[in-house]
Amino acid sequence: MNSYGLKWAALCAGALIAAGCATYPDTATTRQIGEKMVGAGFSSPPSLLKRLEQDRSQQICSKIAGEKLTQQEAAEVVKLARDSIQYPASGRLVGNWRIGDKLAHNGAGDRIQRGKLEKQKENGGLCQNCHALAPDEINVGNVGPSLTGYGAQRGNSEAIAKLTYERIYNAWAYMPCSNMPRLGANRHLTPEQITHLVAYLIDPQSPINKK
């Protein structure tokens, strides 16, 4: 191909690329198309498909191509998270560490099997999936920070109990868009269950705080 032909081919290619860019959906449309495709891939009852609908915080946190949160967006996520936090009717933030121990290792509940929500009296927290827990445990995760010695290092004051409760209920109140599940805000765990996890973390008698 001569130089004239090369120039003409380059011009044509540039025009095609420009045309493609001009017709490509914007971010919002791309998101809608993607969510529709994901929803169409499930055959669950409509009541369960509602779990695929993002709330405002999830919409903010679902960035594309590594886009960063703005300060305004982060502040909105934190506010929404703080507004979502509900405390137990009893007013007590520290429950029974033995119950918390079971919850921290129980991954049952809220699972869809054959198009139906599995029958489970109580959901588990499955904290061990992401965190190191008691010192002698080896089957633990490392996605999140180690919780071994949590109470031994921080104490078990009312302030620590409240901080721990809120971080479990909705961690986005402190770390917007983190990988930590919003266990209370999404109703996976009840406020009472979360008090038991708080006890598991800060009670001096809990295996978490034993050497």
What is the average per-residue pLDDT within 65-83? 94
- Ordered by where they begin, the domains of the chain are 71-209 (1.10.760.10)
* Percent of the chain with pLDDT strictly greater than 70: 81
Read off the amino acid at residue 152.
Answer: A
pLDDT band at 77 (very low <50, low <70, confident <90, very high): very high
15: its two tokens: 């025009």
For residue 105, is pLDDT > 80?
yes
What is the average per-residue pLDDT within 82-104? 97
* Model pLDDT, residue 6: 47
* Model pLDDT, residue 66: 77
61: its two tokens: 């946190």
C-alpha 124/C-alpha 102 separation (Å) is: 8
Which stretches does DSSP call E strand in 140-186?
none
For residue 49, is pLDDT > 80?
no
For residue 119, is pLDDT > 60?
yes
3-state secondary structure (DSSP) of residue 177: coil
Dump pLDDT digits (tens) for 123-178.
899 999 999 999 999 888 999 999 999 999 999 999 999 999 999 999 999 999 99
The Cβ of residue 22 has, within 10 Å, a number of other Cβ atoms equal to 7
User: Which of 95, 106, 109 lies closest to 128 in space, CA to CA?
Assistant: 106
